[in-house]
Amino acid sequence: MTPPIDIAPARGKLGVLLVGLGAVSTTTIAGVMAIRKGLAQPIGSLTQMGTIRLGKRTEARAPKIKDFVSLAGLDDIVFGGWDIFEEDCYAAARTAGVLEQSQLDQVRGELEAVKPMPAVFDQRYVKRLDGPNVKKGKNKRDLAEQLIADIRAFKSKHGCDRLVMVWVGSTEVYMKETAAHASVASFEKALEQNDDAIPSSMIYAYAALREGLPFANAAPNLTADVPAMLELAARTKSPLAGNDMKTGQTLIKTIIAPGLKARLLGVKGWYSTNILGNRDGEVLDDPESFKTKEESKKSALDYIFQPHLYPELYQDLCHVVRINYYPPRGDNKEGWDNIDIFGWLGYPMQLKINFLCRDSILAAPIVLDVALFLDLARRAGMSGIQEWLSFYFKSPMHAAGLYPEHDLFIQLMKLKNTLRFLKGEDLITHLGLEYYD
């Protein structure tokens, strides 16, 4: 057992700044408001409903996570954010069409009070969108300073003790790391020079990290995962998490794949297709934004199956991912997976999964949990990449030279062991020999 880590108490208000007040954000905000009023349950949220086993199984100690570690309470959260559209959160939630009108009306006043600040936006990085609520600036450096001014103004206006920022904006086009991202110095020079290598999302991340805010990227775009951001996060002691929330089809993939591998069942092919009709689907209909998503969705299986260790089972796996924009479905996505597997002596079998899910309903508890856990990390003095939050992401951020952990069950164990470590409790290894001594 190691001594507990010193964690500053979660006193005062926590400002949660969301970049992009679209389907996911408004579902998160309206949900928290409804839960606060006792009108609904926080289903899917580990911070609100999850428990954690402590000590031996015979001790029967399993408190709720929120009673075990100090997390900001839902009543202490203040939401804010930016969007390229001027609609307040009530109107934006109606446009998104995820929650029922009657449910939105129960929290209408609170939702209408959340109005988007003008965004930093450049259509070059999200081709299918255009909106009026956009900042003008001399260059990208100037835009970053404007965001910093927004952050400070929000903090003082709402009397927040602490803030976190989450990018829940649209998926930007596929980008690769360049020399501009190599260090804080080169990044700041590139901001001055309006370098194309800096998409809007990076300007937000830079502003957050400069102010020492924890930052998470809920989308797959290249944002905080570059050396300049890691250097800045280390300098300002800001925790980071991302990328791309693990919901829907990829969530199911990372539940099924570790099971197949555990039983050494081979996989020849995995064909995944989706229909999706919300604004996210529309943005992903652009091939450049889709490429960002595709890369993020495809990597998980390779890491879970470890074909270099099990060439007979997974070496030639054919993995295809498709997303089709189909407006009639709105946010209610439908995904189909066809998995061609093989067993003893190579005999083939098939597994079909048809998931009729609701994207933003699966994503909202993740946004809430990540915001609360990042705030905890900051108060516990943990900075840089928070690998223990991989549980929530399709392309988890990880240290250079390490492969990311994609197995949902290992990720959950890592998350809970991190909480035990923070509180000076024994880590749980599941060895369990002591019960049979």
Ligand X SMILES: NC(=O)c1ccc[n+]([C@@H]2O[C@H](COP(=O)([O-])OP(=O)(O)OC[C@H]3O[C@@H](n4cnc5c(N)ncnc54)[C@H](O)[C@@H]3O)[C@@H](O)[C@H]2O)c1
Beta carbon nearer to ligand X, 217 or 418: 217
Beta carbon nearer to ligand X, 56 or 138: 138
Q: What tokens appear for 53 in the block?
A: 């086993």
Cis peptide before 324 (omega within 30 of 0): no
Cβ at position 300, least distance to ligand X in Å? 13
Residue number, nearest CB to ligand X: 22
Cβ at position 261, least distance to ligand X in Å? 24
Beta carbon nearer to ligand X, 171 or 386: 171
Task: Quote the longest CA-to-CA distance of the chain.
Answer: 72
* 118 backbone dihedrals φ, ψ, rounded to 5°: -60, 140
CA distance readout (Å), 397 to 13, 208, 344, 404 = 28, 18, 36, 7
Distance between CA 393 and CA 248 in Å, rounded? 12
Distance between CA 298 and CA 288 in Å, rounded? 16
Cβ at position 111, least distance to ligand X in Å? 15
Cβ at position 367, least distance to ligand X in Å? 9
Beta carbon nearer to ligand X, 46 or 419: 46
Beta carbon nearer to ligand X, 24 or 341: 24
Collapse the DSSP code of 318 into the 3-class scheme (helix H, G, I; strand E, B; otherwise coil) and give the result: strand
Q: Site residues (CB under 6 A) for ligand X?
A: 19-25, 82-85, 96, 119-121, 126, 129, 131, 168-171, 200, 218-219, 244-245, 247-248, 278-280, 283, 359-360, 362-363
Cβ at position 356, least distance to ligand X in Å? 14
Cβ at position 379, least distance to ligand X in Å? 26
Cβ at position 294, least distance to ligand X in Å? 12
Distance between CA 64 and CA 73 in Å, rounded? 13
Beta carbon nearer to ligand X, 68 or 85: 85
Contact 163, 154 (CB under 8 A): yes
Cβ at position 19, least distance to ligand X in Å? 5
Strands (E), 105-147: 117-118
Q: What is the chain's alpha carbon radius of gyration, rounded to the nearest angstrom?
A: 22
For residue 215, the cross-strand partners are 165, 240
Beta carbon nearer to ligand X, 323 or 419: 323
Collapse the DSSP code of 250 into the 3-class scheme (helix H, G, I; strand E, B; otherwise coil) and give the result: helix
Distance between CA 216 and CA 164 in Å, rounded? 8
Contact 174, 291 (CB under 8 A): yes
Cβ at position 160, least distance to ligand X in Å? 20
Beta carbon nearer to ligand X, 240 or 313: 240
CA distance readout (Å), 82 to 20, 211, 212, 420 = 6, 17, 19, 36
Beta carbon nearer to ligand X, 154 or 310: 154
Collapse the DSSP code of 139 into the 3-class scheme (helix H, G, I; strand E, B; otherwise coil) and give the result: coil
